[in-house]
Structure 1
């Protein structure tokens, strides 16, 4: 069986690093992984984690998804420019009141999370169409389905990703291509730690007192507990993604966290969209004790989310 070429972005740490190592360690050696990152000087962790796979089933390459020339140079360096599986993972985060964020900061999030993916596809999709084979996997988020308090811009970038891919998926079928959106909930990584630390430094002077209080004493205060309750590891996401790329008929969407799924399901329960907003509002502002008790209860059930999952479609 010929090896499939896998190109992954954002591999210096977190989900990208785990994805690269997990796929490169496939016992059947079905994949040749090209793990990319913007700054190669930050590749030490990946080199160490790659171990014996480095130079065999894993190679590290430079790529900046915000630079079309960098993307082209990387793709051109791959034998025959053949990429069988593209995993678009590179991303940045931003939390806080929008009054306290600059338009430039917002543009940077969109440029990496959304336009970074678009640049990749502009370079890689035409070759996949010619071959009429390929799998595009995008690491999205449950926040591409449902917005979360003080994640306005990050959620907007993931909503854009989801809308783009949902539109493209119809065209992709014509060329025998698969598109899959991987939708994690909270994931405990260096990425999330940095986002939280930057959130702590937010200058709230431009926000009104109520908003500043909401961000500091509700959002940031509950941040750690939510991650302790719902948080998965980068390796969890890598395991889910590996199963997605090895099944015969991969799904268009796959949520990795069964504990979080009931919260995203609320969006589809009410066509008006009022239900999830009303429930989240009441949980945060009117029933905060119940909310905290629920988090503690769910923490006891975390073992359920670690059970092996199935890709079977739900019964009607």
Structure 2
């Protein structure tokens, strides 16, 4: 069997979570098919990645600085790779934001869009021309099920992922002409430091700008169920990395791939009704009218996963 030639993989957002897991998974590939350029905004946060990579450091993995919100940073990173040759781009860097929009500043919203959407755009403006010239390359974007279907109190985050999905859906047509592959990885809830921070920021949010009913809804409905949803439906970053590697190795990788089969019935509602009323009505009834059934269902799933040793915990918020 002929060995696959070494492929250069550039991954963003590798200091923790999904990015770290993907970088380590590819660098530790037993067949040594990848040279991983694991990047992060601040190299001061590389310790966890270095520890997880172990003997791969300096061999199948190199760590580089890259800030997706800075064109110069992206250019410097890409130019530091031999011949600027990137066979696979894994766009993972992102940030979250939850809560009532009355309590969020426009600047906070712009930062989410700048990182999650324009960060991808900046990467592709720098990397896509070289891929087009070579007529070879795979662009893998860590999107979200919230790029398909909005969720209560995730308005701005969902908007950023919807933007990514629409952008990629348009770009995929052009990519075909240049023999490029483009794949959207769409996880549901994933237990990472990213999610812990989003949750803790939500707990500390100043809700004074919201009316009492909205503030109560966020605190006693959304945040109250947050941990249960993650414990019942959550995946590990390593699980998402496993899915990502399979997509990268696939001969004909799909354009969209959801990593969590437990979540798939919820996103399927979007396609079941062209009017778009079904998913909104279903989520509304599930949250506000049948909350006891909803919680019972989550507890049942959690029990099944606990019995199969697949239960995860967000842990206690930092004091």
- The two structures have a TM-score, normalised by structure 2, of 0.94
Which of 255, 266, 270 aligns to 1:267? It is 270
Q: SS at 1:205's partner residue?
A: coil
Any gaps of 5 or more consecutive residues in structure 2?
311-319
Other-structure match for 2:105: 102
Other-structure match for 1:207: 210
Q: Supply the distance in 2 between the matched residues of 1:305 and 1:67 (Cα, whole angstroms).
A: 44
Q: Supply the distance in 2 between the matched residues of 1:193 and 1:2 (Cα, whole angstroms).
A: 38
Other-structure match for 2:244: 241
Which of 38, 58, 64 aligns to 1:55? It is 58
Any gaps of 5 or more consecutive residues in structure 1?
308-316
Q: Supply the distance in 1 between the matched residues of 2:78 and 2:208 (Cα, whole angstroms).
A: 45
Give RMSD over aligned pairs: 1.4
**Residues 181, 305 of structure 1: alpha-carbon distance in 2 compared, 3 angstrom cutoff:** farther
Q: Supply the distance in 1 between the matched residues of 2:308 and 2:151 (Cα, whole angstroms).
A: 21
Q: 1:290-301 alignment to 2 at 5 Å?
A: 290-301=293-304
Q: Supply the distance in 2 between the matched residues of 1:24 and 1:306 (Cα, whole angstroms).
A: 27
- CA shift digits 1:201-243 (9 cap, x unpaired): 1110000011000000000000000000000000000000001
Q: Supply the distance in 1 between the matched residues of 2:108 and 2:137 (Cα, whole angstroms).
A: 34
Other-structure match for 2:313: none
Q: Supply the distance in 1 between the matched residues of 2:257 and 2:160 (Cα, whole angstroms).
A: 18
Q: Supply the distance in 1 between the matched residues of 2:200 and 2:306 (Cα, whole angstroms).
A: 28
- Alpha-carbon shift at residue 296 of structure 1 (Å): 1.4
- Alpha-carbon shift at residue 303 of structure 1 (Å): 8.1
- Alpha-carbon shift at residue 297 of structure 1 (Å): 1.9
Q: 1:66-85 alignment to 2 at 5 Å?
A: 66-85=69-88
Q: Supply the distance in 1 between the matched residues of 2:177 and 2:298 (Cα, whole angstroms).
A: 44
- Is the counterpart of residue 34 in structure 1 residue 37 in structure 2? yes
- Alpha-carbon shift at residue 2 of structure 1 (Å): 2.0
Q: 1:1-316 alignment to 2 at 5 Å?
A: 1-302=4-305
- CA shift digits 1:116-161 (9 cap, x unpaired): 0000000000000000000000000000000000000000000000
Q: Is the 8 A contact 1:259 1:305 kept in 2?
A: no
Q: Supply the distance in 1 between the matched residues of 2:27 and 2:257 (Cα, whole angstroms).
A: 22
- Alpha-carbon shift at residue 299 of structure 1 (Å): 2.1
- Alpha-carbon shift at residue 300 of structure 1 (Å): 3.7
Q: Supply the distance in 2 between the matched residues of 1:244 and 1:303 (Cα, whole angstroms).
A: 28
Identify the range of structure 1 (291-300 vs 250-259) with the bigger mean alpha-carbon deviation. Answer: 291-300
Other-structure match for 1:310: none
- The two structures have a TM-score, normalised by structure 1, of 0.95
